[in-house]
Chains A and B, each alone.
Chain A
Amino acid sequence: MSVNLTLLTVMGALYACGIYLLLERSLTRVLLGLMLLTNATNLLILTTGGYAGLAPFFNKDTAAGDYNDPLPQALILTSIVISFAVTAFMLGMIYRTWVLARQDEIQDDAEDRRVAETPSFDAEDDAEIPVETSEFPLVARSGPDDEAGTDDEDTVQAGARRIPAADAAAEEQPGSRNTSPDQEGGSK
C-alpha cells in the first residue's frame, strides 16, 4: 500500500503553477493556468482509481484489490472533453479581444469605475434646497427663473429646454460620459 509520490508531486506543481498563472492579467496566461488546473484535477481523479500497475478490469473473477477501478477513468474522460470545449471557447474569446482591443489583457469595467468615482452627493436626494416640483409652491419664488443653480453656467438650447453646455458638448463626443463607450452605445 503506497501512494504514488511522483503523481502527487506533479499534481501539486501543476496546481501551484496554475493558480499563479490564473492571477495574471494576461488572458493567454489565464488560459494556460486553467488548463494546468484542470489537468491537475484529472491526475487527482486518476489517483483515486487505485495504485499504478494494477490490471485493468476485464474478468469478473478478479479479486477486488487486484484491478484498477475503471470509474475514475470514465470520469476523467468526461472532464477532459469538457475542459477541451472550454479551452477552445476561451481561445476564441481571447482572439476576439485581440481583434477588438488589440490587447491580451483583462479590461476594467467602465461602469464599475464610473460608479466608484461618483461622489456620494446626489443632487436629487441630497441637495440642500430642493427645487419645488409641486404645482402649488408653498413659498413664492422671488426670481423669474425657476431653474436653480443653472444661472452661472453656460447653457445651450436643446429641444424644449436649456441644458448645460458641458453636457451638450459631451453628447457630441464619441467617448461621451452619458453613453457607454462600446460601439453599440450601451442601449440595446
Chain B
Amino acid sequence: MNIASFAPLAVVLPILGAALAFLLIRHTRAQRTVSIAVLSLTLLLECWLLASVWEGGTAAVSIGGWLPPFGIVMVVDQFSSLMLVVSSVVSLAVLIYASGQGMADGDSDAPVSIFHPTYLILVAGVSNAFLAGDLFNLYVGFEILLTASYVLMTLGGTGPRIRAGVTYVVVSVVSSVLFLLAIAMIYGATGTINMADLAIKLAGLDEGTRNLLHVLLLVAFGIKAAVFPLSFWLPDSYPTAPAPVTAVFAGLLTKVGVYAIVRTETLLFPGDSFNTPLMVAALLTMVVGILGALAQSDIKRLLSFTLVSHIGYMVFGLAMSSVAGLGAAVFYVAHHITIQTSLFLVTGLIERRAGSSSVDRIAGLAKLSPLLAVLFFVPAMNLAGIPPFSGFLGKLGLLQAGVALGTPLAYALVAGGVLTSLLTLLAIARVWNRAFWRKPEDAEHPDPVLLAAPVAAGPGDRAGQRVILLPRTMVGSTLGLVLFGVALTVFAGPLFGLADQSAQEMLNRSSYIQAVLGDEAPVPAIAQPVPAEGKK
C-alpha cells in the first residue's frame, strides 16, 4: 500500500470541512467544532505521512490513475511533509485562537461565520501547494490560498482593510500572472509541466532560454515570498487584518513562496548559476527589512518588517546550494513559521489587553499581565536568536554553512546575518522596554485605561458589552504555540537531522524524480552545458 495514496486527503479534508462549515453557517458552535475537528484530523494524517516518509522515502500518487507526466501528481517528500505538519500545527493553533476570540466577543465583531469556511480553504490551498507535483497544480494551490486570503484580509470590509486589501490583491494577482506566464513559456519550451519531467527536460534547453524561465519563476515566487526588491507590499497590507488572520498569513503565506523558490532552485534549475544574485537579494532583504522594523512604533508593523527581514535568512541558506546551507534553511523555515505566528498571536492579546498595539501608547504590561509578558518574551528572544533557542540554532547552522563556503560574498552574508540578528534583538528589546517594563505614565501618549489603578484581567466593560479581556482559549492556544516553538528547540537535534536529510535528497533529486516517473527514469547530472561564469 502506497502511503502517498492518502496524501490528497490533506487537501480534500479541509475542502470538505469548508463545505460542511458553510452549511452550518447559522450554527456557530457546530461550525467551530467541525472546523477544529477537521483540522485536527488533517494534522494527524500529516503526522502519519511525515513519519512514513521519514522511514520510507519519497512517495508519489497519480490522481485518477493518469500516469505522469500527463496526469496530476502529488509528491510527499521529507521537506513537503515537514512543511505540512508545521503549517497544520500553526493553523490549528490560530483557528482555536480565532474561535476563542469569536466566542469572547459574542460574534458581533466580525463575520466569523464566513471566517471558518474561508480559513479551511486557505489551509487546503497551502497543503495543495506543498504537495503539488506539477507546476500548474502549484499555481492552482497558490490561487486557492490567495483567493481565500483576499477574503480574510478584507474581513468586515472596513476602510483601512479595504485600502490594504487593494494593494495586496493587485500585487498578488500580478505575481500570479507572472507565474502563469512562466508556466506558459515553460510548456512552450518543453511540452510538459510535471516537475520531475521538467527536471530532466529543462536540462536540454539552451542556456538563454533556461535563464529566462528561471528568472521568471524566481520573480513570481519572490513577490509571494517577499524577497527584498519585491517585498514592499507586505508591511503595507498585513498589519490591518484581524490578529489571527495576520498571524496565519505571516506564518504560512510567505513560506509557501519560499517553498516554491526552494523547489525551483533544487529540482527544476539545480546548479549555482543564480547563486550570486540570490545571495545579494538575501543580504538586502535581511538588512533593509530590519532597518524598516527599527523605524516602526506599531508592534504589528514592526513584526511585518522582521518577517520580511528573516525571509533573507532562508534565501541565504538556499542560495549556498550545499547540504549544510539548505538543511539549515529548511530548519529555519520550520522555526520561523512557528515563532512569527506566535508573536503575532501574542500581539493580538496585547491589543486586547492594552487597547492598542502602538508602543507609544502601551506601557507597564509586565505588571499588568505577567503571563502576557512571558508569552511575548520567549518567542521574541527566539526570533532574535538568543541561545539556546531554535532561532539561534538555525542561524548558527546558516552561518556555519556560509563560513564553510568561504567566498567573499558568503562572508558578507555571514556578517549581514549577525548584524540583522543584533538589530532584531534591538527592535524587540525596544518593544519589550516600552510595552512591558516602563511605567504607564512614561508613555508618549499614555492610554487612560493603563494609567488607572491596575485591575485583575477579568470581565471588562466595552461599549456596554461584557468583554473578557484575555479569554482562556486565546491564551491557551498562544501558549500551546509558544510551547511548540520551545519544543523545536528541545528536539532540534532530530529535526536538524531530518532537515539535513531532506536537503540531501533535494540536492540529489533522484528520489523525487524516480518516485514520480518510476525507478528506471534517468536522473540527469546537474546541467551546466556552459560553465557558470563569474562565480567567485
Contacts and interface: CB of A to CB of B under 8 A. Distances in A.
Interface residues of A, number: 54
A185 B187 CA distance: 50
Nearest to A115: B295
Nearest to A19: B174
A78 B140 contact: yes
B301 A111 contact: yes
Contacts of B163: 97, 106-107, 109
Given A93-B154, A158-B448, A183-B159, A37 B143 contact: no
Interface in A84-110: 85-86, 89-90, 93, 96-97, 100-101, 106-107, 109-110
B162 A93 contact: yes
Given A44-B181, A159-B451, A167-B445, A30 B170 contact: yes
Contact of B355 (A93, A133, A187): A187
A178 interface: yes
B395 to A, nearest CB: 26
Contact of B239 (A82, A111, A183, A184): A111
B206 interface: no
A184 B155 CA distance: 13
Given A85-B147, A123-B444, A41 B236 contact: no
A90 to B, nearest CB: 6
Residue among A86, A97, A100, A167 having the largest count of chain B Cβ atoms under 10 Å: A86
Contacts of A109: 163-164, 236
Residue among B169, B180, B236 having the largest count of chain A Cβ atoms under 10 Å: B180
Given A124-B434, A183-B159, A89 B147 contact: yes
Interface residues of B, number: 60
A118 B170 CA distance: 29
A126 B167 CA distance: 35
Contacts of A47: 188
**Chain A at the B interface: mostly helix, strand, loop or mixed?**
helix
Nearest to A163: B446
Contact of B174 (A22, A125, A163): A22
A110 B183 CA distance: 38
A90 B169 contact: yes
A93 B195 CA distance: 36
B301 A48 contact: no
Interface in B410-465: 430, 434, 438-439, 441-442, 444-446, 448, 451-452
Interface in A155-184: 158-161, 163, 167, 177-178, 180, 182-184
Nearest to A72: B187
B166 interface: yes
Interface of B: 109, 136, 140, 143, 147, 150-151, 154, 157-160, 162-167, 169-170, 173-174, 176-177, 180-181, 183-185, 187-188, 191, 236, 239, 242-243, 295-298, 301, 351, 355-358, 360-361, 430, 434, 438-439, 441-442, 444-446, 448, 451-452
26 contacts: A34-B177, A37-B177, A38-B173, A41-B180, A44-B184, A48-B184, A72-B187, A75-B136, A86-B173, A89-B147, A93-B162, A93-B166, A100-B157, A100-B158, A106-B166, A110-B160, A111-B239, A115-B297, A133-B439, A158-B448, A159-B448, A161-B441, A163-B446, A182-B159, A183-B158, A188-B351
